[in-house]
Protein backbone atom coordinates (compact mmCIF):
# COMPACT_ATOMS: atom_id res chain seq x y z
CA UNK A 1 0.00 0.00 0.00
CA UNK A 2 1.32 3.41 -0.97
CA UNK A 3 1.69 5.65 2.07
CA UNK A 4 2.95 9.19 2.50
CA UNK A 5 3.18 10.49 6.05
CA UNK A 6 3.87 14.15 6.62
CA UNK A 7 5.31 15.55 9.84
CA UNK A 8 6.99 18.62 11.23
CA UNK A 9 4.09 21.05 11.30
CA UNK A 10 3.31 23.25 14.25
CA UNK A 11 2.98 26.79 15.51
CA UNK A 12 5.66 29.25 14.41
CA UNK A 13 5.97 33.01 14.64
CA UNK A 14 5.99 35.22 11.57
CA UNK A 15 9.51 35.36 10.16
CA UNK A 16 10.33 31.97 11.61
CA UNK A 17 11.38 28.72 9.99
CA UNK A 18 10.11 25.17 9.90
CA UNK A 19 11.15 21.96 8.18
CA UNK A 20 8.50 19.53 7.00
CA UNK A 21 9.28 15.87 6.37
CA UNK A 22 7.46 13.17 4.47
CA UNK A 23 8.16 9.47 4.84
CA UNK A 24 7.15 7.34 1.89
CA UNK A 25 6.50 3.62 1.59
CA UNK A 26 4.82 1.13 -0.69
CA UNK A 27 6.41 2.40 -3.90
CA UNK A 28 9.84 2.99 -5.43
CA UNK A 29 10.34 6.53 -4.16
CA UNK A 30 13.47 7.21 -6.17
CA UNK A 31 11.65 6.81 -9.49
CA UNK A 32 9.04 9.50 -8.93
CA UNK A 33 8.81 13.28 -9.10
CA UNK A 34 7.43 14.54 -5.79
CA UNK A 35 5.46 17.67 -4.90
CA UNK A 36 4.22 19.72 -1.98
CA UNK A 37 0.68 21.13 -2.08
CA UNK A 38 -1.01 23.19 0.62
CA UNK A 39 -4.51 24.17 1.64
CA UNK A 40 -5.17 27.22 3.78
CA UNK A 41 -8.10 26.96 6.21
CA UNK A 42 -11.36 27.11 4.27
CA UNK A 43 -9.51 27.71 1.00
CA UNK A 44 -8.56 25.76 -2.09
CA UNK A 45 -5.52 23.75 -3.06
CA UNK A 46 -2.22 25.36 -4.06
CA UNK A 47 0.73 23.57 -5.61
CA UNK A 48 3.98 24.81 -4.09
CA UNK A 49 6.97 22.95 -5.46
CA UNK A 50 8.20 19.79 -7.08
CA UNK A 51 11.48 17.92 -7.42
CA UNK A 52 12.67 15.34 -9.90
CA UNK A 53 13.92 11.85 -9.17
CA UNK A 54 17.54 12.72 -8.33
CA UNK A 55 16.90 16.19 -6.92
CA UNK A 56 18.59 18.02 -9.77
CA UNK A 57 15.45 19.80 -11.02
CA UNK A 58 13.19 21.82 -8.76
CA UNK A 59 10.29 24.14 -9.49
CA UNK A 60 8.42 26.56 -7.23
CA UNK A 61 5.32 28.70 -7.30
CA UNK A 62 6.26 32.38 -7.26
CA UNK A 63 4.83 33.05 -3.81
CA UNK A 64 7.35 30.73 -2.11
CA UNK A 65 10.41 31.19 -4.33
CA UNK A 66 13.42 32.19 -2.27
CA UNK A 67 11.67 31.25 1.00
CA UNK A 68 10.94 27.53 0.61
CA UNK A 69 13.33 24.78 -0.46
CA UNK A 70 12.27 21.31 -1.54
CA UNK A 71 14.70 18.43 -1.18
CA UNK A 72 14.76 14.66 -0.97
CA UNK A 73 16.82 11.78 0.38
CA UNK A 74 16.22 8.70 -1.73
CA UNK A 75 18.19 6.51 0.67
CA UNK A 76 15.66 7.40 3.37
CA UNK A 77 12.62 7.48 1.07
CA UNK A 78 11.98 10.96 2.38
CA UNK A 79 10.89 14.33 1.02
CA UNK A 80 11.44 17.63 2.78
CA UNK A 81 10.26 21.21 2.65
CA UNK A 82 12.42 23.80 4.38
CA UNK A 83 10.34 26.91 5.01
CA UNK A 84 11.79 30.23 6.11
CA UNK A 85 10.58 33.83 6.42
CA UNK A 86 7.17 32.41 7.19
CA UNK A 87 4.14 34.66 6.87
CA UNK A 88 0.68 34.50 8.39
CA UNK A 89 -0.64 33.62 4.93
CA UNK A 90 1.51 30.46 4.92
CA UNK A 91 -0.86 28.99 7.49
CA UNK A 92 -2.19 25.81 5.89
CA UNK A 93 -2.24 22.05 5.83
CA UNK A 94 0.76 20.88 3.81
CA UNK A 95 0.57 17.70 1.74
CA UNK A 96 3.42 15.65 0.36
CA UNK A 97 2.43 13.99 -2.90
CA UNK A 98 3.68 11.58 -5.51
CA UNK A 99 3.71 13.59 -8.73
CA UNK A 100 2.55 11.65 -11.76
CA UNK A 101 1.31 14.88 -13.32
CA UNK A 102 -1.65 14.05 -11.11
CA UNK A 103 -1.40 13.65 -7.34
CA UNK A 104 -2.25 10.37 -5.69
CA UNK A 105 -2.58 9.25 -2.96
CA UNK A 106 -3.14 12.01 -0.41
CA UNK A 107 -2.13 11.65 3.21
CA UNK A 108 -3.58 13.60 6.10
CA UNK A 109 -1.07 16.40 5.76
CA UNK A 110 0.63 18.41 8.46
CA UNK A 111 -0.74 21.68 9.80
CA UNK A 112 1.49 24.74 9.85
CA UNK A 113 0.20 27.72 11.81
CA UNK A 114 2.04 31.02 11.49
CA UNK A 115 0.94 33.37 14.23
CA UNK A 116 2.34 35.64 16.88
> Quick one: which of 21, 59, 69, 77 contacts other proteins (CB under 8 A)?
59
> Quick one: which of 82, 107, 111, 113 contacts other proteins (CB under 8 A)?
107
CB 11 within 8 A of CB 91: no
- Per CB under 8 A, 45 contacts other proteins: yes
Least separation in angstroms between residue 53's CB and other proteins is: 17
Order of strands across the sheet that contains 33-39? 10-12, 110-114, 92-99, 33-39, 45-51, 58-60
Contacts with other proteins, residue ranges (CB under 8 A): 35, 37, 44-47, 49-50, 59-62, 95, 99-109
Amino acid sequence: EVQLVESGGGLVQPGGSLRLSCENSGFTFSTYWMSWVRQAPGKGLQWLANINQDGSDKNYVDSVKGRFTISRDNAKNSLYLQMSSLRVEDTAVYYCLRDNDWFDPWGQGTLVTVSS
